[in-house]
Amino acid sequence: MSDSIKYVLDESRIPKVWYNLAADLPKPLPPALHPGTQKPLGPDDLAPLFPMALIMQEVSTEREIEIPEPVRDIYRQWRPSPLYRARRLEKVLDTPAKIYYKYEGVSPAGSHKPNTAVAQAFYNQQEGVKKLATETGAGQWGSALAFAGALFGIEVQVFMVRVSYDQKPYRRALMETYGARCIPSPSNETQSGRAILAKNPNHLGSLGIAISEAVEVAAQHDDTKYALGSVLNHVLLHQTVVGQEAMAQMEMAGDYPDVIVGCTGGGSNFAGIVFPFLGTQLRGGRKVRIVAIEPAACPSLTRGQYAYDFGDTAHLTPLAKMHTLGSTFTPPGFHAGGLRYHGMAPLVSHIKELGLIEARAYHQISCFEAGVQFARAEGILPAPEANHAVRGAIDEALKCKQEGKSRTILFNLCGHGHFDMQAYIDYFDGKLKDIEYDEAELAMALAGLPSVKAA
Ligand SMILES: *Cc1c(COP(=O)(O)O)cnc(C)c1O
């Protein structure tokens, strides 16, 4: 048993509920606000964008929310996902630490994203929705939703950030294979897109702009809703299957993490692995150190402001209290496209403010170094986003070596990088640069934060 490297649960151990951290928070989450009135948002305000079942999950404080059987049934294709002990990596690092990783790259889309895409498509189908509009950065969310849409007979329209659309034709092809329509953003199909193109016809796009376009399409069509792959409470909720399984697998291994590491773009894979453990801690159980890793080129948690801000560039979304770089901040082009969002999930921001988690920012070259070291030891090639978590876990293991202490480290390997080989090619060719994010541009974007009287 102690020599195992892989901990596998059978299908009956797929969680039956999603775990809702809101039930165990020492202080409630500041509410989302209506962009016009700045009053706390009611369920009806969100009805044009989301099915009611998801809106109720968004505001729920119930600890456990049942996973519908049809969703669990689809989860069976790749869940429970494996948990590995990285024994070969430990050897290479010559560390007394024990390193475990939960691998979410086994899903059809290659990341954790289908955990929520399938749930979202299910609830939309239940409420008669015919079409979902969404945005995608690197293409992982777009392909996850395209996959889920295909299963539930829902048409999927994906606004893909222009720079990724041009650089990542294989992700686009995957979305199209699943039957989705993929549009480079900013596009001529929406008012928000046309407004951007009028100012700059060669705009490379951003997640904030693509969100505006998708929200606009959903708001204007009765049979169309909007879907988001990160940030929102219900998305983080769906990802908690990851942490619940990891808890059972750590138990199989006869171990418990001292440290949990995850990468944060909008915060969903991090929340997925962390929240079940944090909930246990908040209910009086064992304490665990939690570290969020973000890119230095888009450092919302470590250098952003904790303030009410819009989720998109055209200011069509509600105001959420979160760590933000400003909704007009366009992060420089770096390779972890899935981490290029100006804001952080309100729930992750909140627990950072409460001092329940730490955050660190890393430059991309050191993350690729870690990813390559990991691949050569463990065989799995991580997504560029996941490389941030790998770097974080390796640094924790090296700290153990320095201090001559053994600790148990758990991290979320949220996806594989098979569609991101150009990034690896650029890394090997020495073409990657560590981008210092532009202080002046950030100051400008932060100066544009909405002034909010409440809270
Ligand atoms: C989308 C994505 C991310 C970033 O989103 P989070 O909500 O922060 O998890 C990170 N890694 C991978 C592999 C992704 O697909």
- Give the per-residue pLDDT at 454: 56
Pocket flag, ligand 1, residue 136 (CB < 6 Å): no
Choose one of 231, 339, 391 to mutate for the ligand 1 pocket test, by most ligand atoms within 8 angstroms of C-beta.
Answer: 339
Q: How far is CA 270 from CA 70, 171, 287, in A?
A: 25, 23, 17
Phi, psi of 443 (to 5 degrees): -60, -40
Query: CA dihedral in degrees (144, 148, 150, 156; nearest 10)?
Result: -70
Least confident segment among 279-293, 302-316, 366-380, 406-420: 302-316
- The Cα–Cα gap between 397 and 236 comes to 27
Average pLDDT over every residue of 371-397: 98
- Give the per-residue pLDDT at 322: 97
Pocket flag, ligand 1, residue 269 (CB < 6 Å): yes
Q: With respect to residue 154, please indicate whether it lies within any of the assigned structural domains.
A: no
Pocket flag, ligand 1, residue 107 (CB < 6 Å): no
Pocket flag, ligand 1, residue 415 (CB < 6 Å): yes
Helix (H, G, I), strand (E, B) or coil at 452: coil
Q: What is the mean pLDDT of the chain?
A: 95
CATH number at residue 352: 3.40.50.1100
Q: With respect to residue 375, please indicate whether it lies within any of the assigned structural domains.
A: yes
Pocket flag, ligand 1, residue 383 (CB < 6 Å): yes
- The Cα–Cα gap between 137 and 145 comes to 13
Pocket flag, ligand 1, residue 264 (CB < 6 Å): yes
Pocket flag, ligand 1, residue 386 (CB < 6 Å): yes
- Going from the Cα of 62 to the center of ligand 1, the distance in angstroms, rounded, reads 26
> Which residues lie below 8 Å from residue 440, measured CB to CB, with a gap of 6+?
none
Please give the DSSP secondary-structure letter assigned to residue 136: E
Pocket flag, ligand 1, residue 268 (CB < 6 Å): yes
Q: With respect to residue 182, please indicate whether it lies within any of the assigned structural domains.
A: no
Alpha helices per DSSP H over 33-129: 43-46, 52-59, 69-75, 87-93, 114-126
Pocket flag, ligand 1, residue 184 (CB < 6 Å): no
Cβ count near 3 (within 10 Å): 6
Q: Are the C-beta atoms of 138 and 168 separated by less than 8 Å? A: yes
Q: With respect to residue 272, please indicate whether it lies within any of the assigned structural domains.
A: yes
Q: With respect to residue 7, please indicate whether it lies within any of the assigned structural domains.
A: no
The one-letter amino acid at 164: S
Pocket flag, ligand 1, residue 111 (CB < 6 Å): yes
Domain count, the chain: 1
Choose one of 104, 112, 323 to mutate for the ligand 1 pocket test, by most ligand atoms within 8 angstroms of C-beta.
Answer: 112
Please give the DSSP secondary-structure letter assigned to residue 338: G
Cβ count near 209 (within 10 Å): 30
The one-letter amino acid at 36: G
Please give the number of the atom of ligand 1 that sits closest to the Cα of 268. 7
> Which residues lie below 8 Å from residue 281, measured CB to CB, with a gap of 6+?
287, 288
Average pLDDT over every residue of 188-203: 96
Q: Are the C-beta atoms of 318 and 33 separated by less than 8 Å? A: yes
Take residue 26 and report the two structure tokens written for it. 């020492």
Residue 1 has pLDDT above 50, yes or no: no
Phi, psi of 54 (to 5 degrees): -75, -35
Choose one of 335, 414, 419, 420 to mutate for the ligand 1 pocket test, by most ligand atoms within 8 angstroms of C-beta.
Answer: 414
* Share in percent of the chain as helix, strand, coil (round to 5): 45, 20, 40
Per cent of the chain over pLDDT 70 is 98
Pocket flag, ligand 1, residue 230 (CB < 6 Å): yes
Pocket flag, ligand 1, residue 338 (CB < 6 Å): yes
Q: Render pLDDT for 86-124 as a digit per residue (tens, 0 to 9).
A: 999 999 999 999 999 999 999 999 999 999 999 999 999
Confidence of residue 2 (pLDDT cuts 50, 70, 90): low
- Going from the Cα of 265 to the center of ligand 1, the distance in angstroms, rounded, reads 6
Per cent of the chain over pLDDT 90 is 87
Q: With respect to residue 430, please indicate whether it lies within any of the assigned structural domains.
A: yes
Structural domain that includes position 97: 69-110+234-447
Q: With respect to residue 428, please indicate whether it lies within any of the assigned structural domains.
A: yes
H or E segment at 112?
A: none
Q: With respect to residue 46, please indicate whether it lies within any of the assigned structural domains.
A: no
Q: Render pLDDT for 41-75 as a digit per residue (tens, 0 to 9).
A: 999 999 999 999 999 999 999 999 999 999 999 99
- Going from the Cα of 349 to the center of ligand 1, the distance in angstroms, rounded, reads 16
